[in-house]
Structure 1
Amino acid sequence: MSESRPQRPVSMQAHLRDQVADALRAALVAGELRPGVVYSAPALAAEYGVSATPVREAMLDLARQGLVEAVRNKGFRVTEPSERDLAEFTELRLLIEAPTIGRVTRTATREQLEALRPTAEGTVAAARSGDLVGYLEADRRFHLGLLSLAGNARLVEAVDDLRRRSRLHAYADLVETGPLVESAREHAELLDTMLAGDAAAAETRMRHHLARVHR
């Protein structure tokens, strides 16, 4: 007879911290939290209607991801990647994603690829409606969904981390000028190329897509 294991209740505080971290990331993407500005945990806590503790914990998570930095006795300052940082992040993504897309093109089933069609269409809908946060979330699901078909969870985690670190506040301007819709349409075009079984062309499309994002 096996011994009963002690119950380990799920910490609601941990869930709250994750929820706050998600909300803060969305605020960063939308440009509501500006680079160089110092934000205090109590002030943010009051804005989000929570205590300061989960906000501090969420901010520490974002600091580990390089999105903010702690300012002693004041709070947290939003960091901004330099042009060199962005170029290096893009280079890494190109080295990882382009060949992986070629491999996935050769190995994924039609059903697996078509399952990502609604997500690709979701990026276009969000871009057209000016929903920047919705666009970036759908874009994340699409890219990571494709990469996950390669069967390497660590690779997906690495690209997800690069995406977080290379967030671009200029995206807010793209919503107004139109390039975001063009970028979103490239997702469906990439899928069509992969479904056609042209691995080399799919790799090229991914390189062009990431280059557009960097520009």
Structure 2
Amino acid sequence: MKQGAQGSAATGAGDVPGSAVRVPPQSRGAADADVDVDVEVGRERYDAPGGVRGEHTHSETPLPRPRPAVQRASVRGQIVDALRTALVAGELRPGEVYSAPALGDRFGVSATPVREAMQQLALEGAVEVVPNRGFRVVERGRRELAELAEVRSLIEIPVMLRLARTVPAERWAELRPLVEASVRAAASGCRATYAEADRAFHRAVLALSGNEQLVQVAEDLHRRAQWPLVGGPGLRGRAELVADAAEHTALLDALVARDLDVVRALVGEHFRGAR
């Protein structure tokens, strides 16, 4: 820790090595000659006996306000979203290794938030850490996709059937804009855009259950089902996206009509073909 320009060796009660900046007080007479003012970075705590509150000398540049921690979290969250989009779009290819500095250059940020974001994706199972190199995109085959579809069916089909029996038609009608958004996204041919619209519709349907834990688990499974398979991103083209979005329309119509047989068949087929 650096001492002030006066070279005082006295240590204030509020000193925390590595986290506080010592600011020498202005002269207040002999009785106050050894008074120190501690400014703790990040929490703006002032330990100032005798009523001294953060004075600084006229020649000293005022300390800048510390950057709120939420900004870093915000950057990390934005990078997580950008990486997820790149993953679904096939820009991050299965089996390839990507370094944090290179990805940081791509997104115009330092390597630190990229590493933090990649650690989040590693927890989700999208990538794996390669020591001293970076992160490898996990290679997934059709067997894993089929397993995810089975688990999603076991979770979501019973819930949708229950909701079909209990939710009034006017509540289902509120989801019509989400279905229309998924149709437009599919028509654009952009896999990442459609992936977002697809999850938004399913999330809204399951949210009617009032079970937040269910919604979170289903969202995680759905996101994992959208990751690219080994063999490249071209396995699902625009025509397949349009057909998938059309199933959203048919499913919503069946939910409004409370046609349980059609709901069961559509959801099962939707999951088997989902990517």
Instruction: Give yes or no for TM over 0.5.
Output: yes
2:240 aligned partner: 179
Q: Which runs of 5+ in 1 are unaligned?
A: 1-5
1:164 aligned partner: 223
Offset at 1:73?
0.5
Q: Within 5 Å, give how 1:33-182 maps onto structure 2.
A: 33-169=92-228, 172-176=234-238, 178-182=239-243
Q: Does 1:31 align with 2:106?
A: no
Other structure's SS at 1:186 match: helix
Does the Cα contact within 8 Å between 2:101 and 2:111 map onto a contact in 1? yes
Q: Which runs of 5+ in 2 are unaligned?
A: 1-42, 45-67
Offset at 1:75?
0.3
Offset at 1:135?
0.7
From the CA coordinates, give the structure whose radius of gyration is larger. 2
Please report the TM-score for the alignment, with normalisation by the length of structure 1.
0.90
Does the Cα contact within 8 Å between 1:68 and 1:79 map onto a contact in 2? yes
Cα RMSD for the two superposed structures? 1.8
Other structure's SS at 1:77 match: strand
Partners of 2:174 and 2:145 in 1: CA distance: 31
Partners of 2:163 and 2:139 in 1: CA distance: 33
Relative to its length, the structure with more helix (as a share) is 1
Point out which structure has higher relative CO (alpha carbons under 8 A, 6+ apart): 1
1:191 aligned partner: 252
When residues 55 and 168 of structure 1 are mapped into structure 2, their CA distance, relative to the original with a 3 A threshold, is: closer
Kindly report structure 1 stretches of 4+ aligned residues shifted beyond 4 Å: none
1:17 aligned partner: 76
Percent of aligned pairs sharing the same letter: 48
The aligned amino acid for 1:193 is A
Offset at 1:174?
2.3
